[in-house]
């Protein structure tokens, strides 16, 4: 089991799924998320900065939630978040619709290409493993 220092409180905790913060801070963050969500329902159109100040949380955390598509900004502005590929202001996620579509197409093309080399590699590895087990 892996242990790591919590990014928020600095305490050591057991890492289960590569998380960066301890269970206690995760819970706190989750409560905060619901606070922010309710705040945004009452204050549609509040800016990232305003939301951060009023909820006593960092703008970085709010942006992260937006990147994770858990929050959606009311308007797309340069001051909010921008597409990681082309820099266009977006309301949620990491990429704008156009870049997302383009990446989906690229992914599909890559996926459709046959890759016999990968297959060979895998079967060689399996053979190696079997030999190793037999000798044991
Ligand atoms: Zn913590
Ligand atoms: Zn884009």
Distance 31 CA to ligand 1 centre (A): 14
Domain segments of the chain: what residues?
A: 36-135
Tell me the CA–centroid distance for residue 44 and ligand 2, in Å. Answer: 25
Counting other chains too, the contacts that 80-85 makes at CB distance below 8 Å and 24 or more residues apart are 80/47, 80/48
The closest ligand to the CA of 27 turns out to be 1
Alpha carbon of 6 to ligand 1 centroid (Å): 5
CA atoms within 13 A on the CB side of 133: 6
- The pLDDT of residue 133 is 56
pLDDT in tens, the chain (136 residues): 789 999 999 999 999 989 999 999 999 999 999 999 999 999 988 888 999 999 999 999 999 999 999 999 888 888 889 999 999 999 999 999 999 999 999 888 877 766 565 555 555 555 555 555 555 4
Ligand showing the shortest atom-to-Cα distance for residue 21: 1
């Amino acid at each position: 089991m892996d242990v790591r220092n919590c990014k928020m409180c600095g305490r050591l905790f057991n890492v289960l799924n590569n998380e960066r913060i301890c269970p206690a801070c995760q819970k706190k963050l989750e409560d905060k998320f619901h606070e922010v969500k309710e705040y945004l329902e009452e204050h549609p159109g509040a800016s990232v900065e305003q939301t951060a100040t009023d909820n006593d949380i960092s703008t970085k955390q709010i942006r992260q939630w937006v990147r994770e598509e858990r929050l959606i900004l009311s308007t797309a502005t340069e001051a909010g978040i921008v597409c990681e590929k082309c820099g266009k202001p977006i309301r949620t996620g990491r990429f704008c619709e156009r870049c997302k579509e383009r990446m989906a197409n690229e992914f599909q093309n890559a996926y459709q290409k046959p890759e016999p080399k990968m297959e060979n590699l895998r079967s060689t590895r399996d053979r190696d493993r079997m030999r190793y087990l037999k000798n044991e």
